[in-house]
Protein backbone atom coordinates (compact mmCIF):
# COMPACT_ATOMS: atom_id res chain seq x y z
CA UNK A 1 0.00 0.00 0.00
CA UNK A 2 1.28 3.38 -0.99
CA UNK A 3 1.16 6.27 1.44
CA UNK A 4 -0.48 9.47 0.27
CA UNK A 5 -0.09 11.29 3.57
CA UNK A 6 2.22 10.83 6.52
CA UNK A 7 1.27 12.71 9.64
CA UNK A 8 4.24 12.83 11.96
CA UNK A 9 4.06 14.06 15.56
CA UNK A 10 1.57 16.72 14.54
CA UNK A 11 0.71 19.38 17.09
CA UNK A 12 -1.69 22.26 16.91
CA UNK A 13 -1.95 24.44 20.00
CA UNK A 14 -4.14 27.49 20.52
CA UNK A 15 -3.43 30.25 23.00
CA UNK A 16 -6.67 30.72 24.91
CA UNK A 17 -5.57 33.09 27.67
CA UNK A 18 -2.48 34.81 29.08
CA UNK A 19 -1.16 31.50 30.35
CA UNK A 20 -3.56 28.91 29.02
CA UNK A 21 -2.80 26.82 25.97
CA UNK A 22 -5.31 24.52 24.37
CA UNK A 23 -3.49 21.51 23.00
CA UNK A 24 -6.14 20.62 20.45
CA UNK A 25 -3.88 18.19 18.62
CA UNK A 26 -0.99 16.91 20.66
CA UNK A 27 1.58 14.67 19.03
CA UNK A 28 -0.52 12.69 16.60
CA UNK A 29 1.08 10.33 14.06
CA UNK A 30 -0.54 8.19 11.39
CA UNK A 31 -0.47 7.49 7.66
CA UNK A 32 -3.21 7.69 5.06
CA UNK A 33 -2.92 5.28 2.14
CA UNK A 34 -3.78 6.08 -1.45
CA UNK A 35 -7.39 5.32 -2.28
CA UNK A 36 -8.49 4.48 1.23
CA UNK A 37 -11.08 6.01 3.51
CA UNK A 38 -9.70 6.66 6.94
CA UNK A 39 -12.43 7.34 9.48
CA UNK A 40 -11.55 9.62 12.39
CA UNK A 41 -13.87 9.60 15.37
CA UNK A 42 -14.15 11.01 18.85
CA UNK A 43 -16.34 13.22 21.01
CA UNK A 44 -16.57 16.92 20.22
CA UNK A 45 -13.45 18.74 21.31
CA UNK A 46 -11.21 15.70 20.89
CA UNK A 47 -9.26 17.41 18.12
CA UNK A 48 -10.47 15.49 15.09
CA UNK A 49 -11.56 18.54 13.09
CA UNK A 50 -8.43 20.43 14.06
CA UNK A 51 -6.35 17.46 12.93
CA UNK A 52 -8.11 17.53 9.55
CA UNK A 53 -7.77 21.26 9.16
CA UNK A 54 -4.10 21.20 10.10
CA UNK A 55 -3.44 18.38 7.66
CA UNK A 56 -4.75 20.41 4.74
CA UNK A 57 -3.13 23.58 6.05
CA UNK A 58 -6.25 25.52 6.92
CA UNK A 59 -4.29 25.83 10.18
CA UNK A 60 -0.55 26.07 10.56
CA UNK A 61 1.02 23.22 12.50
CA UNK A 62 2.48 24.20 15.88
CA UNK A 63 4.95 21.36 15.44
CA UNK A 64 5.36 18.15 13.50
CA UNK A 65 5.10 17.32 9.83
CA UNK A 66 2.57 16.38 7.23
CA UNK A 67 4.05 14.74 4.14
CA UNK A 68 1.91 14.63 1.02
CA UNK A 69 3.43 12.25 -1.52
CA UNK A 70 6.63 12.63 0.49
CA UNK A 71 6.66 16.45 0.48
CA UNK A 72 6.32 18.39 3.71
CA UNK A 73 3.35 20.66 3.15
CA UNK A 74 4.01 22.73 6.27
CA UNK A 75 7.58 23.48 5.26
CA UNK A 76 8.59 26.70 3.56
CA UNK A 77 6.81 26.96 0.24
CA UNK A 78 6.42 29.43 -2.57
CA UNK A 79 2.98 30.77 -3.43
CA UNK A 80 2.94 28.58 -6.51
CA UNK A 81 3.72 25.42 -4.56
CA UNK A 82 1.06 26.25 -1.98
CA UNK A 83 -1.48 26.67 -4.74
CA UNK A 84 -0.55 23.23 -6.05
CA UNK A 85 -1.24 21.66 -2.65
CA UNK A 86 -4.45 23.61 -2.23
CA UNK A 87 -5.72 22.09 -5.42
CA UNK A 88 -4.87 18.53 -4.41
CA UNK A 89 -6.52 18.72 -1.00
CA UNK A 90 -10.13 19.74 -0.61
CA UNK A 91 -12.62 19.83 2.20
CA UNK A 92 -16.31 19.10 2.55
CA UNK A 93 -17.89 20.72 5.57
CA UNK A 94 -20.47 19.66 8.10
CA UNK A 95 -22.88 22.48 7.47
CA UNK A 96 -23.26 22.85 3.72
CA UNK A 97 -25.31 25.99 4.18
CA UNK A 98 -22.81 27.91 6.26
CA UNK A 99 -20.02 26.92 3.92
CA UNK A 100 -21.75 28.11 0.73
CA UNK A 101 -21.82 31.85 0.07
CA UNK A 102 -25.54 32.78 -0.01
CA UNK A 103 -24.96 35.63 -2.47
CA UNK A 104 -23.25 33.49 -5.07
CA UNK A 105 -24.98 31.35 -7.64
CA UNK A 106 -24.31 27.64 -7.56
CA UNK A 107 -22.35 28.06 -10.78
CA UNK A 108 -20.00 30.64 -9.30
CA UNK A 109 -19.60 28.65 -6.08
CA UNK A 110 -18.55 25.56 -8.00
CA UNK A 111 -16.41 27.52 -10.46
CA UNK A 112 -14.43 29.38 -7.79
CA UNK A 113 -11.65 26.80 -7.73
CA UNK A 114 -11.76 26.48 -11.52
CA UNK A 115 -11.12 30.23 -11.74
CA UNK A 116 -8.40 30.32 -9.06
CA UNK A 117 -6.49 27.51 -10.68
CA UNK A 118 -7.19 28.59 -14.27
CA UNK A 119 -8.74 25.28 -15.24
CA UNK A 120 -11.04 26.64 -17.93
CA UNK A 121 -9.84 28.50 -21.01
CA UNK A 122 -13.16 30.08 -21.90
CA UNK A 123 -16.46 30.91 -20.34
CA UNK A 124 -18.02 28.14 -22.36
CA UNK A 125 -15.56 25.62 -20.99
CA UNK A 126 -16.17 26.90 -17.49
CA UNK A 127 -19.92 26.45 -17.88
CA UNK A 128 -19.53 22.98 -19.36
CA UNK A 129 -17.33 21.94 -16.46
CA UNK A 130 -19.87 23.21 -13.96
CA UNK A 131 -22.74 21.42 -15.71
CA UNK A 132 -20.75 18.22 -15.77
CA UNK A 133 -19.95 18.51 -12.08
CA UNK A 134 -23.60 19.13 -11.25
CA UNK A 135 -24.52 15.96 -13.09
CA UNK A 136 -21.73 14.03 -11.42
CA UNK A 137 -23.21 14.82 -8.01
CA UNK A 138 -26.78 14.07 -9.03
CA UNK A 139 -27.98 17.61 -9.80
CA UNK A 140 -28.43 19.20 -13.22
CA UNK A 141 -27.59 22.27 -15.26
CA UNK A 142 -30.91 23.95 -14.46
CA UNK A 143 -29.56 24.30 -10.92
CA UNK A 144 -26.55 26.35 -12.00
CA UNK A 145 -28.06 29.81 -11.76
CA UNK A 146 -29.87 29.33 -8.48
CA UNK A 147 -28.75 30.28 -4.99
CA UNK A 148 -27.91 27.97 -2.07
CA UNK A 149 -31.07 28.77 -0.08
CA UNK A 150 -33.20 27.28 -2.84
CA UNK A 151 -31.85 23.82 -2.08
CA UNK A 152 -32.43 21.17 0.56
CA UNK A 153 -29.67 20.17 2.99
CA UNK A 154 -28.81 17.09 0.97
CA UNK A 155 -28.66 19.06 -2.28
CA UNK A 156 -26.48 21.70 -0.65
CA UNK A 157 -24.08 19.01 0.44
CA UNK A 158 -24.00 17.81 -3.18
CA UNK A 159 -23.09 21.35 -4.22
CA UNK A 160 -20.30 21.35 -1.62
CA UNK A 161 -19.05 18.06 -3.04
CA UNK A 162 -19.15 19.44 -6.60
CA UNK A 163 -17.14 22.45 -5.45
CA UNK A 164 -14.52 20.18 -3.89
CA UNK A 165 -14.35 18.01 -7.03
CA UNK A 166 -14.05 20.98 -9.38
CA UNK A 167 -10.27 21.19 -9.03
CA UNK A 168 -9.59 17.45 -9.45
CA UNK A 169 -8.30 16.81 -5.93
CA UNK A 170 -6.52 13.65 -4.79
CA UNK A 171 -7.47 13.94 -1.15
CA UNK A 172 -10.72 15.06 0.44
CA UNK A 173 -11.43 15.68 4.08
CA UNK A 174 -15.09 15.23 4.85
CA UNK A 175 -15.71 16.84 8.24
CA UNK A 176 -18.95 15.33 9.53
CA UNK A 177 -20.48 15.67 6.06
CA UNK A 178 -23.72 13.91 6.95
CA UNK A 179 -24.24 14.79 10.62
CA UNK A 180 -26.50 17.73 9.80
CA UNK A 181 -28.61 15.79 7.28
CA UNK A 182 -31.81 13.80 7.72
CA UNK A 183 -31.16 10.13 8.26
CA UNK A 184 -32.97 9.34 5.01
CA UNK A 185 -30.54 11.54 3.09
CA UNK A 186 -27.36 10.42 4.84
CA UNK A 187 -27.04 7.14 2.95
CA UNK A 188 -27.45 8.92 -0.40
CA UNK A 189 -24.60 11.29 0.32
CA UNK A 190 -22.41 8.46 1.60
CA UNK A 191 -23.16 6.44 -1.55
CA UNK A 192 -22.29 9.41 -3.70
CA UNK A 193 -18.98 9.88 -1.89
CA UNK A 194 -18.15 6.21 -2.40
CA UNK A 195 -19.02 6.29 -6.10
CA UNK A 196 -16.83 9.33 -6.58
CA UNK A 197 -14.01 7.66 -4.72
CA UNK A 198 -14.08 4.66 -7.06
CA UNK A 199 -14.40 6.78 -10.15
CA UNK A 200 -11.69 9.30 -9.34
CA UNK A 201 -9.38 7.26 -7.14
CA UNK A 202 -9.91 9.66 -4.26
CA UNK A 203 -8.51 9.29 -0.78
CA UNK A 204 -10.75 10.35 2.10
CA UNK A 205 -10.35 11.37 5.69
CA UNK A 206 -13.88 10.97 6.99
CA UNK A 207 -14.46 12.71 10.31
CA UNK A 208 -17.46 11.74 12.43
CA UNK A 209 -18.46 11.86 16.07
CA UNK A 210 -19.62 8.30 16.37
CA UNK A 211 -18.19 4.96 15.39
CA UNK A 212 -21.35 3.53 13.88
CA UNK A 213 -21.31 6.25 11.24
CA UNK A 214 -17.86 5.40 9.90
CA UNK A 215 -18.05 1.63 10.38
CA UNK A 216 -19.25 0.76 6.88
CA UNK A 217 -17.44 3.33 4.84
CA UNK A 218 -13.95 3.29 6.34
CA UNK A 219 -11.10 0.96 5.48
CA UNK A 220 -9.42 1.95 8.72
CA UNK A 221 -10.60 3.92 11.72
CA UNK A 222 -8.74 6.14 14.16
CA UNK A 223 -10.19 7.04 17.56
CA UNK A 224 -9.17 10.32 19.19
CA UNK A 225 -9.48 11.40 22.80
CA UNK A 226 -8.44 14.80 24.17
CA UNK A 227 -6.03 15.67 21.40
CA UNK A 228 -4.42 12.24 21.26
CA UNK A 229 -4.90 9.25 19.04
CA UNK A 230 -6.08 6.40 21.28
CA UNK A 231 -6.32 3.63 18.70
CA UNK A 232 -6.10 3.03 14.96
CA UNK A 233 -6.79 -0.18 13.04
CA UNK A 234 -8.57 -1.74 10.08
CA UNK A 235 -12.31 -1.30 10.51
CA UNK A 236 -13.13 -4.98 10.99
CA UNK A 237 -10.20 -5.46 13.34
CA UNK A 238 -11.26 -2.44 15.38
CA UNK A 239 -14.87 -3.50 15.67
CA UNK A 240 -13.98 -7.08 16.56
CA UNK A 241 -10.87 -6.60 18.67
CA UNK A 242 -10.90 -3.09 20.09
CA UNK A 243 -7.94 -2.79 22.44
CA UNK A 244 -8.32 0.64 23.98
CA UNK A 245 -10.81 0.89 26.86
CA UNK A 246 -12.21 4.06 25.32
CA UNK A 247 -12.90 2.37 21.98
CA UNK A 248 -14.44 -0.56 23.82
CA UNK A 249 -16.80 1.81 25.61
CA UNK A 250 -17.75 3.60 22.38
CA UNK A 251 -18.47 0.28 20.69
CA UNK A 252 -20.56 -0.99 23.56
CA UNK A 253 -22.80 2.06 23.17
CA UNK A 254 -23.73 1.22 19.57
CA UNK A 255 -27.07 -0.60 19.61
CA UNK A 256 -27.17 -3.98 17.88
CA UNK A 257 -30.17 -4.82 15.70
CA UNK A 258 -30.54 -8.36 17.02
CA UNK A 259 -32.46 -8.09 20.34
CA UNK A 260 -30.98 -11.35 21.62
CA UNK A 261 -27.46 -10.07 21.13
CA UNK A 262 -28.44 -6.65 22.42
CA UNK A 263 -29.74 -8.14 25.71
CA UNK A 264 -26.65 -10.20 26.36
CA UNK A 265 -24.27 -7.35 25.66
CA UNK A 266 -22.47 -5.51 28.34
CA UNK A 267 -22.70 -1.74 28.19
CA UNK A 268 -19.60 0.02 29.37
CA UNK A 269 -20.71 3.25 30.97
CA UNK A 270 -17.98 5.85 31.22
CA UNK A 271 -17.95 7.77 34.47
CA UNK A 272 -17.54 11.52 34.50
CA UNK A 273 -17.16 14.08 31.76
CA UNK A 274 -14.39 14.65 29.28
CA UNK A 275 -11.77 16.73 31.15
CA UNK A 276 -10.78 20.13 29.80
CA UNK A 277 -8.18 19.90 27.05
CA UNK A 278 -6.54 22.98 28.60
CA UNK A 279 -5.53 20.96 31.64
CA UNK A 280 -5.70 17.29 30.67
CA UNK A 281 -4.99 14.59 33.27
CA UNK A 282 -1.36 13.56 33.79
CA UNK A 283 -0.14 10.32 32.28
CA UNK A 284 -2.92 8.76 30.25
CA UNK A 285 -5.55 11.36 29.43
CA UNK A 286 -8.30 8.79 29.59
CA UNK A 287 -7.46 7.60 33.11
CA UNK A 288 -10.12 9.66 34.90
CA UNK A 289 -12.80 7.69 33.06
CA UNK A 290 -11.04 4.41 32.40
CA UNK A 291 -12.46 1.28 34.06
CA UNK A 292 -8.99 -0.35 33.89
CA UNK A 293 -6.82 2.50 35.18
CA UNK A 294 -3.72 1.46 37.13
CA UNK A 295 -1.30 3.54 39.20
CA UNK A 296 1.12 3.80 36.33
CA UNK A 297 -1.57 5.43 34.20
CA UNK A 298 -1.38 8.64 36.26
CA UNK A 299 2.40 8.78 36.03
CA UNK A 300 3.43 7.75 32.55
CA UNK A 301 1.88 8.67 29.25
CA UNK A 302 1.28 5.49 27.28
CA UNK A 303 3.29 5.29 24.07
CA UNK A 304 1.75 4.93 20.63
CA UNK A 305 2.59 1.38 19.62
CA UNK A 306 1.66 -1.28 17.09
CA UNK A 307 0.18 -3.90 19.41
CA UNK A 308 -1.00 -6.20 16.61
CA UNK A 309 -0.18 -6.01 12.93
CA UNK A 310 -1.46 -2.67 11.63
CA UNK A 311 -3.29 -2.11 14.90
CA UNK A 312 -2.03 0.85 16.89
CA UNK A 313 -2.94 1.75 20.44
CA UNK A 314 -1.81 4.02 23.26
CA UNK A 315 -2.55 2.15 26.48
CA UNK A 316 -0.42 0.60 29.24
CA UNK A 317 -2.48 -2.58 29.17
CA UNK A 318 -0.52 -3.48 26.03
CA UNK A 319 2.90 -2.47 27.33
CA UNK A 320 4.91 -5.52 28.32
CA UNK A 321 6.34 -3.55 31.22
CA UNK A 322 3.01 -2.89 32.87
CA UNK A 323 0.42 -5.30 31.59
CA UNK A 324 1.41 -8.31 33.71
CA UNK A 325 2.01 -6.65 37.04
CA UNK A 326 -1.16 -4.67 37.49
CA UNK A 327 -0.37 -2.47 40.45
CA UNK A 328 -3.82 -1.20 41.10
FE1 LIG B 1 -6.88 3.01 30.88
FE2 LIG B 1 -4.38 3.09 31.73
FE3 LIG B 1 -4.92 2.22 29.28
FE4 LIG B 1 -5.16 4.79 29.90
S5 LIG B 1 -3.27 3.62 29.88
S6 LIG B 1 -6.59 3.58 28.73
S7 LIG B 1 -5.93 4.67 31.99
S8 LIG B 1 -5.52 1.27 31.22
MG1 LIG C 1 -15.88 19.07 14.56
CA 292 to ligand 1: nearest atom: 8
With a cut of 90, say whether residue 210 has pLDDT above it. no
Domain 3-323 part of CATH 3.40.50.300: yes
At how many degrees (to 10) do helices 123-136 and 153-165 cross? 130
In the 3-class helix/strand/coil scheme, how is 199-239 assigned residue by residue? HHCCEEEEEECCHHHHHCCCCEEEEEECCEEEEEEEHHHHH
Please, which pLDDT band fits residue 127 given cuts at 50, 70 and 90? very high
Is 91 in a helix, a strand, or coil?
strand
Pick the more confident residue, 271 or 126.
Answer: 126
Pick the more confident residue, 326 or 73.
Answer: 73
Averaged pLDDT for residues 191-211:
95
Q: How far is the CA of 206 from the centre of ligand 1 (A)?
A: 26
Please, which pLDDT band fits residue 181 given cuts at 50, 70 and 90? confident
Does the reported pTM lie above 0.90? Answer: yes
CA 284 to ligand 1: nearest atom: 4
With a cut of 60, say whether residue 324 has pLDDT above it. no
Tell me the pLDDT of the chain averaged across its residues. Answer: 92
pLDDT digits (tens, 9 = 90+) for 296-309: 999 999 999 999 99
CA 296 to ligand 1: nearest atom: 2
Q: What is the pLDDT of residue 328?
A: 41
With a cut of 60, say whether residue 243 has pLDDT above it. yes
Please, which pLDDT band fits residue 323 given cuts at 50, 70 and 90? low
What are the domain boundaries of the chain?
3-323
Q: What is the pLDDT of residue 326?
A: 47
Q: How far is the CA of 91 from the centre of ligand 2 (A)?
A: 13
Distance CA 30, CA 151 (A): 37
Q: How far is the CA of 45 from the centre of ligand 2 (A)?
A: 7
CA 287 to ligand 1: nearest atom: 7
Lowest mean pLDDT across 10-19, 89-98, 262-271, 319-328: 319-328
Residues measured by CB to lie within 5 Å of ligand 2, the ion: 49
Q: Which of 292, 299, 303, 323 to mutate to test the pocket of ligand 1 (most atoms within 8 A of CB)?
A: 292
Q: How far is the CA of 12 from the centre of ligand 2 (A)?
A: 15
How many other C-beta atoms are found inside a 10 Å radius of the C-beta of residue 22? 20
pLDDT digits (tens, 9 = 90+) for 13-62: 999 989 899 999 999 999 999 999 999 999 888 999 999 999 999 999 99
Q: What is the pLDDT of residue 327?
A: 44
> What torsion do the CA atoms of 16, 48, 95, 123 make, to the nearest 10 degrees?
100
Q: How many CA atoms lie within 13 A of 156 on its CB side?
A: 22
**What ipTM does the predicted assembly reach?**
0.94
pLDDT digits (tens, 9 = 90+) for 66-109: 999 999 998 888 888 888 888 999 999 887 778 899 999 999 99
Amino acid sequence: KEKLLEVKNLKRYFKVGPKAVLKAVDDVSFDIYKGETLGLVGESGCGKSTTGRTIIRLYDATDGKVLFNGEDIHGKKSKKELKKFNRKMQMIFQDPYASLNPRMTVKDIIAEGIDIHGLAKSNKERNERVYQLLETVGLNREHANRYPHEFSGGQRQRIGIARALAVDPEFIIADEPISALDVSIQAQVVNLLQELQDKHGLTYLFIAHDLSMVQHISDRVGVMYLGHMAELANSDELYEHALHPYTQALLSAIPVADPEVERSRERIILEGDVPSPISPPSGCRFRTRCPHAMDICAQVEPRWQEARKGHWVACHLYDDEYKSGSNK
